[in-house]
Chain A
């Protein structure tokens, strides 16, 4: 069994592959950020990526929707391989949603316009239809009353929830979360994590970079531990938090817990 398929329960193993990374390497000039990473995410799986800062975990998920371009190996998302093919890039981008650490809402657009932007311009939906959908999503993340406000008028937690709604509006098959709670004040973290938990329960395929161990333990199907650009260990939460195999994993968990 390859490292990518470690710790697959029977249920997971029977599902289709959603994201397959094989031997993914990435250099920033002379610095190698990813060293032959092998990871597989199954359909409807929640995978949490752990690791110290600079371990390449953000780079990995940024490669998956081609915000960064990997130089070796292959990444296949839902059967579409990420290459220089413009058509494939377009398809991947509209199927993979991404939530950033810094929210990255568009400050010159209202909350509603932020959410309807991509459905209207990329999915070519009508404005009315997009707005209906947007209101539903705002309802779902719990802030329908903020629709007409501008991002600058919202708190960090509210902004991040809008960002999640914005990604969901594209009806993605996969959601990537890049440290979604790191830029938030402690009292706002819970509201964002709740939304993410709902999403996971709803059967969304998710890949989450986070330091929230509680979330990882409760929601994740599998955890990946990365260090200096390599996948060190893959396992179920149970395995990780009770009996990690590698020394480096033990050290990291002891520091963070």
Chain B
């Protein structure tokens, strides 16, 4: 027995350890030290980069975005400077982003279809089907996607010369060393009015479905919900097709919003952002305190809790400082881009728009070349086609594995139980197995979608004008590497975040409630 407890000197609950032995203090000290260290390293690096850039007299900032691009793009919604629309740097980058998204969206759709087919046939009992899909998966996923893309480019480059007659169906489908062209349906001027109108109609359809569902639950029997939905949908589509110009009034409305945004003074935006930061911090601290509150009163706060609250308050102060002092341009940037956004919308509904929402075209050639964009067929340049084919085949192999894994993950007891209840095989698949498999499939499938979006950046290897390639052209012109890389990062992060937001929402919907 130590003498400490026998002596009366010890007073329980009052001994405070010295700072350097206090676990809570040490913990936070270590964290803050590392945080400060990391920030210091960043600060050093950026300071160093600034000096180096200044030595080469390269200005730091985003002012160059409005400069003329002075280069042509390979393909996209705008490739050259035109009298109607100047090709500025920012416009060029925007064209690159659209190209990226075009590839990503199409790639996602087609690789999903292909992947599901292959994944299911890999589970088939048929010998040939199973072996074929195994070879498909193993072959495609073990060869780097970049090699596949370049191989496609080499193969497509060896096709016949481009004439209107090259290809399997002359005049309709062109397959040549310059690319592939098919007839296409495209969004015409009236589309935005049409879409707005359809949105209104869809609201009506949802209400109708709910009513029918209610009636079915009450009276039983088959109320033909699907049929009614379909019929109303077709009717409203036809109506919207005819009367869509009525939505043109939205143009001025958006125009007004644009003006209103533009009129917000910078100081107001600064105050608003500061208040938002402060409110967020206060809300966080309140929520934190609430979580410690019980009917019996507030729990005793540990040192840790105090550190947390002080730290979050500090973060709020830093945010306010950045908004007001550190980066005043932030507020005007938010105002400008917000106003630009509404301006674009107002344009879409502006004068001279209306009538046909969709139109169709056959492939056409001008001067023996594909028309770049606009009134022509759906043209895949060889660059587009090679990256598209490469991505779709590569990713479909992974999706096939995801699908197979998902179906196998459903315990066999589930289909046995369904059979025992008297469900047919198809019913069991649709009502019992697939819903469960879908839940397993969804997260890795979302990952594959992210991968497709990121892998579009490999377009740079074949000279496809996606964002990374355009950005590279930009910084080769004006040496604004830091700014261009920040744009890359923001663009890809927002793509990733939106895809994972969609996937997470679906996941939450699907999640089985466990306890």
Direct contact of A and B (CB under 8 A): yes
Chain A contacts to B: CB under 8 angstroms: 16-17, 20, 22-23, 25, 27, 29-32, 43, 69, 71-74, 76, 78-81, 83-89
Q: Considering the chains assembled together, what is the distance between the CA atoms of A23 and B26 in angstroms?
A: 27
Q: Least Cβ distance of B306 to chain A in Å?
A: 13
Q: Considering the chains assembled together, what is the distance between the CA atoms of A16 and B3 in angstroms?
A: 10
Are B13 and A86 interface neighbours, CB within 8 A? no
Are A76 and B10 interface neighbours, CB within 8 A? yes
Residues of B within 8 A of A27 (CB): 292, 294, 299-300
Residues of B within 8 A of A89 (CB): 23
Closest to B17 in A: A85
Are A32 and B5 interface neighbours, CB within 8 A? no
Chain B contacts to A: CB under 8 angstroms: 1-6, 10, 12-13, 15-18, 21-26, 291-296, 299-300, 302-303
Q: Least Cβ distance of A214 to chain B in Å?
A: 32
Are A84 and B23 interface neighbours, CB within 8 A? yes
Q: Least Cβ distance of A63 to chain B in Å?
A: 13
Residues of B within 8 A of A16 (CB): 1, 5-6
Q: Considering the chains assembled together, what is the distance between the CA atoms of A71 and B2 in angstroms?
A: 26
Are A78 and B292 interface neighbours, CB within 8 A? no
Closest to B7 in A: A79
Greatest chain A CB density within 10 A among B12, B16, B303 is at: B12
Contacts A27-B292, A78-B5 given; does A22 touch B13 at CB 8 Å: yes
Are B292 and A30 interface neighbours, CB within 8 A? yes
Closest to B15 in A: A81
Q: Least Cβ distance of B271 to chain A in Å?
A: 35
Q: Considering the chains assembled together, what is the distance between the CA atoms of A74 and B11 in angstroms?
A: 10
Are A30 and B2 interface neighbours, CB within 8 A? no
Closest to A30 in B: B294
Q: Which 6 A-B pairs have the closest CB atoms?
A: A85-B17, A79-B5, A74-B13, A27-B299, A79-B4, A30-B294
Q: Least Cβ distance of A159 to chain B in Å?
A: 28
Contacts A29-B299, A32-B299, A69-B302 given; does A86 touch B21 at CB 8 Å: yes
Are A79 and B299 interface neighbours, CB within 8 A? no
Are B294 and A31 interface neighbours, CB within 8 A? yes
Can you list 24 A-B contacts with CB-CB less than 8 angstroms, sorted by A residue number? A16-B6, A20-B5, A22-B12, A23-B13, A27-B292, A27-B299, A29-B292, A30-B291, A30-B299, A31-B294, A32-B294, A43-B1, A73-B13, A74-B13, A78-B5, A79-B2, A79-B4, A79-B6, A80-B4, A81-B15, A84-B23, A84-B303, A86-B26, A89-B23
Residues of A within 8 A of B2 (CB): 78-80
Residues of A within 8 A of B16 (CB): 83
Are B296 and A32 interface neighbours, CB within 8 A? yes
Q: Least Cβ distance of B287 to chain A in Å?
A: 12
Q: Considering the chains assembled together, what is the distance between the CA atoms of A69 and B18 in angstroms?
A: 19
Contacts A16-B1, A16-B5, A22-B12 given; does A84 touch B292 at CB 8 Å: no
Residues of B within 8 A of A83 (CB): 15-17
Closest to B293 in A: A30
Are A29 and B291 interface neighbours, CB within 8 A? yes
Partner of B12, one of A81, A86, A88: A81
Residues of A within 8 A of B294 (CB): 27, 30-32
Q: Considering the chains assembled together, what is the distance between the CA atoms of A85 and B26 in angstroms?
A: 10
Are B13 and A84 interface neighbours, CB within 8 A? no
Residues of B within 8 A of A30 (CB): 291-295, 299
Greatest chain B CB density within 10 A among A32, A81, A84, A85 is at: A84
Partner of B5, one of A17, A73, A86: A17
Closest to B11 in A: A74
Q: Least Cβ distance of B304 to chain A in Å?
A: 9
Q: Least Cβ distance of B16 to chain A in Å?
A: 7
Are A85 and B299 interface neighbours, CB within 8 A? no
Q: Considering the chains assembled together, what is the distance between the CA atoms of A173 and B184 in angstroms?
A: 83
Are B22 and A86 interface neighbours, CB within 8 A? yes
Closest to B295 in A: A30
Partner of A84, one of B3, B6, B22, B291: B22
Residues of A within 8 A of B23 (CB): 84-86, 89
Closest to B3 in A: A79
Are A84 and B17 interface neighbours, CB within 8 A? yes
Residues of B within 8 A of A31 (CB): 294
Are A85 and B302 interface neighbours, CB within 8 A? no
> What would 9 more interface pairs be, CB under 8 Å, given A76-B10, A85-B15?
A30-B291, A72-B300, A79-B5, A80-B4, A83-B17, A85-B22, A86-B22, A88-B17, A89-B23
Closest to B297 in A: A32
Q: Considering the chains assembled together, what is the distance between the CA atoms of A71 and B24 in angstroms?
A: 13
Are A25 and B300 interface neighbours, CB within 8 A? yes
Residues of A within 8 A of B24 (CB): 84
Q: Considering the chains assembled together, what is the distance between the CA atoms of A78 and B5 in angstroms?
A: 7
Partner of A71, one of B17, B22, B299: B299
Q: Least Cβ distance of B7 to chain A in Å?
A: 9
Q: Considering the chains assembled together, what is the distance between the CA atoms of A74 and B14 in angstroms?
A: 8
Residues of A within 8 A of B295 (CB): 30
Residues of A within 8 A of B25 (CB): 84
Closest to B27 in A: A84
Residues of B within 8 A of A72 (CB): 300
Residues of A within 8 A of B13 (CB): 22-23, 73-74, 81
Q: Considering the chains assembled together, what is the distance between the CA atoms of A14 and B22 in angstroms?
A: 35
Residues of B within 8 A of A79 (CB): 1-6, 10
Q: Least Cβ distance of B55 to chain A in Å?
A: 49
Q: Considering the chains assembled together, what is the distance between the CA atoms of A69 and B291 in angstroms?
A: 17
Greatest chain A CB density within 10 A among B15, B24, B25, B292 is at: B15
Contacts A27-B294, A85-B23 given; does A20 touch B12 at CB 8 Å: yes
Closest to A75 in B: B12
Residues of A within 8 A of B10 (CB): 76, 79, 81
Residues of B within 8 A of A25 (CB): 300
